Amino acid sequence: MHLWCLSSGSSRSLYRDFPRKIMVTSDADILFERHDTSPSGAVGQILLNRPKALNTLTLDMCRSLDAQLRAWNEDKDIHAILIAGAGEKAFCAGGDIVQLFEAHHRDADAVFAHAFFHTEYRCNMRITALRKPFVAFMDRVVMGGGVGVSVNGSHRIVTERTLLAMPETRIGLFPDIGASYFLSRLPGAMGLFVGLTGARLNGADCVALGLAQHFVPHVHLPKLRETLMQSGVDAAIAAVSETPPPAPILTHSDAIARHFSQNSVEDIFASLAEDKDPWAATQLAALRTFSPLSLKISFREIREGARLSRADCFRMEWRLARRITEDGDFYEGVRALLIDKDNRPQWRAKTLAEINDAVIEDYFAPLGPDELDLSDIIAPS
């Protein structure tokens, strides 16, 4: 067994009850462990190790993860990769956007944010291009960047405790980490619904929508981890998978299809306003508090993503991230919801009507020499 970690701290025995609540002696934010016990080869294990911060991803974590994935992808002895989160609260609650906020206010620019999103998106794309199974234990909270390091993988496992969401429009951002690709391919208008509203999905919802393929009660995850060390990935997962309960989101599938298949955000608002169902009123009330700019960007992004390759979706999201961290609502949304917590963001545009098509078009314009380069990840080996 070989262990690598990101930090200056020491580390000793780390995986006694992986992936339940783990007593980790290292202060490393991300841990990498190689198990050579499998007859079919070694298994590379990744532990997101910031439980007090809900395992949110920092720039250094993304850099370290990307480098390790690249190495393991080239290692012929590694037959599978497993990722999980430390602690009892979250797999990963997203990127550490408070870190981005603090860097912006310290440096008065978006250089740090650009570095974070550039590294994160390349890491997400590398996960999609791995030549071996990538198994994600999506137990507990899975949001934003946590979705990026799980849903982009080949084997996605949820539990009865899973809570997945893409709440970016609430903070003036947009569904990123490849969401323009996978949300646009959900059935019906589910992708726009999930992306615009930040709807919270449980494990059954995730399986029903295709965001995950396997439902495993959380008590079986330690057994599954051990079995993965000894046998093939598919057989190990099949041995503990169960049929999920009915998915709550499907009870609203007709309403979602009716309202979120409209041709603009304005039309979605109007459709919801005409519906007397309390569910529709709840969705509309929430949407009215979100950044109008983010809603319009997100609507077009998800629509555009349906006709783009995965790599081109990441390139589009990079253009958006570059610009929205320079002159969008992002930092104000983070301030209102996570820093001051007054829940009163002062969006640049107060209404949808204030944002014309030309404004949105500018966010999607090519970046020329600053486009996201993925050639070293997606080029044939």
DSSP 77: T
Name the catalytic one among 145, 148, 198, 328.
145
At residue 57, the 3 state secondary structure works out as: strand
CA distance 90 to 57: 12
Q: Which of 44, 87, 94, 95 is catalytic?
A: 95
Placement of tokens 């965001």 in the chain: 211
Q: E-strand spans in 108-217? A: 134-138, 141-143, 155-158, 163-165, 201-202, 214-215
29, 66, 168, 317: the active-site residue? 168
**CA–CA–CA angle 204, 131, 182 (5° rounding):** 40
Among 33, 176, 317, 329, the one annotated catalytic:
176
Sheet holding 30-38, edge to edge: 2-5, 30-38, 41-48, 78-85, 134-138, 155-158, 214-215
Could you tell me how far CA 232 lies from the centroid of its own chain? 26
87 a catalytic residue: no
Catalytic annotation present for 301:
no
Distances 64 to 119, 147, 376 between C-alpha atoms, Å: 10, 18, 17
Task: Say whether 95 is catalytic.
Answer: yes
Of the candidates 46, 42, 45, the one whose C-alpha atom is nearest the C-alpha of residue 76 is 42
Active site residue 195: no
- What sign for the dihedral angle of Cα 264, 269, 273, 279? positive
- Extract the tokens encoding 283: 């969705």
Would you give the distance in Å from CA 240 to the centre of its chain? 25
Supply φ then ψ for residue 365, to 5 degrees: -65, 145
Q: Enumerate the active-site residues.
A: 95, 145, 168, 176
